[in-house]
Amino acid sequence: MWTDELLFILHREAGEGDRPRARPEADPRTGSAVEGARFKLRARPHAPSVPPGHLPRKRWRMSLDAVLGEIRSCRACAGELPHEPRPVVRVTAETRLLICGQAPGRRVHESGLPFDDPSGDRLRRWLGVDRETFYGDPRIGVAAMAFCFPGTDPKGGDYPPPRRCAELWRRRLLEQLPRVELTLLVGRHAMDWALGGRAKPSMAETVGAWRDYLPDALPMPHPSWRNTGWLKRHPWFEDDVTPWLQARVRDMLAA
């Protein structure tokens, strides 16, 4: 009883009103007194790691902001790219669906908005969401294998994403996204990085085995027009996989 009275006096002295705040609840995992509302965050089974002691939500946000700030000011590839680096990444502490593509294309490099191109239109169709939801719902995030446009290959297409980017940033960024439930591995680079030895010899085989990687990851082709032929040769992708994906996204956004 004396503790409540002491709390009352302390809060009154601090000018926090006439009633003491509720007693802190005990964290069932550690037995220590904590404010329960701060411990709603929990690690998903596939989350790479959780900071010791499960940092409060505010601290997670600060850490994510810090990593994003470092990424946005990264110039590690300056001098190797045919332009000034312009990292494009769009995630929040609320991200549940993480879209991991290859690297921004020229148009995204100019606009700074991921998938702001015809590939993005096809991707949104596969997801069953409109532009407003795609860019406005904090539960949808985009973090490609490289955050800067790698430049155009004179032989056609864009250069592959510089591996340095994933080595520098990927683990640090994913550690700050504990709420991710499903990661879309869009294209071969993302599949190889995330699946390692679990990836099949070809993209078609990996995507064909999509059920093997659920519920955490879904390998899929890049929605670029360059893959239109692939999609025609593999109609099961849009017949089977995209309806499943639309239902999963619908459930995720309704929760």
Q: Which of 98, 143, 168, 182 binds ligand SF4 (CB under 6 A)?
A: 168
| Binding status of residue 146 toward ligand SF4 by CB under 6 A | yes
Specify the 3-state DSSP secondary structure of 65: helix
Contact 102, 190 (CB under 8 A): yes
Measured from the CB atom, the residue of 24 and 112 that comes closer to ligand SF4 is: 112
Applying CB under 6 A, the span of 2-10, 93-101, 121-129, 161-169 interacting with ligand SF4 comes to: 161-169
Q: What share of the chain is helix, strand, coil (3-state, %, to 5)?
A: 45, 10, 45
* Torsion (CA) 237, 252, 134, 165 in degrees, nearest 10: -80
Among 60, 115, 126, 147, binds ligand SF4 (CB under 6 A): 147
Is residue 87 reached through a cis peptide bond, with omega within 30 degrees of 0 on the bond before it? no
Number of residues near ligand SF4 (by CB under 6 A): 14
CB-nearer residue toward ligand SF4: 148 or 199: 148
Cβ closer to ligand SF4: 58 or 163?
A: 163
Q: To the nearest whole angstrom, how small is the minimum distance from the Cβ of residue 167 to ligand SF4?
A: 8
Which of these segments, 10-18, 164-172, 198-206, 220-228, binds ligand SF4 (CB under 6 A)? 164-172
Tokens representing 172 are 């640090």
**Of 141, 162, 219, 221, which lies in the binding site for ligand SF4, with binding defined by CB under 6 A?**
162
Tokens encoding 187: 């294209």
Residues 123, 143, 148, 220: which binds ligand SF4 (CB under 6 A)? 148
Check the CA dihedral 53-137-227-167 and report its sign: negative
Per the CB < 8 A criterion, the answer to whether 231 and 221 are in contact is yes
The residue from 85, 101, 105, 141 that contacts ligand SF4 (CB under 6 A) is 85
Among residues 45, 61, 79, the alpha carbon closest in space to that of 182 is found at 45
Question: Which residue(s) pair with 33 in the sheet?
Answer: 26
Taking the C-alpha atoms of residue 32 and residue 16, their distance in angstroms, rounded to an integer, is: 24
Q: How many CB atoms lie within 10 A of CB 203?
A: 20
The site map against ligand SF4 for 32-71 (x = CB under 6 A) is ---------------------------------------x
* Least distance to ligand SF4, CB of residue 181, Å: 25
Cα–Cα distance, 30 to 53 (Å, whole number): 9
Give the x-and-dash track for 192-231 against ligand SF4 (CB under 6 A). Answer: ----------------------------------------
What is the identity of the amino acid at 224?
Answer: S
Structure tokens at 3: 């503790």
Q: Is residue 141 at the binding interface for ligand SF4, with CB under 6 A as the rule?
A: no
In the complex, the residues that contact ligand SF4 under the rule CB under 6 A are 71, 74-77, 85, 87, 146-148, 162, 164-165, 168
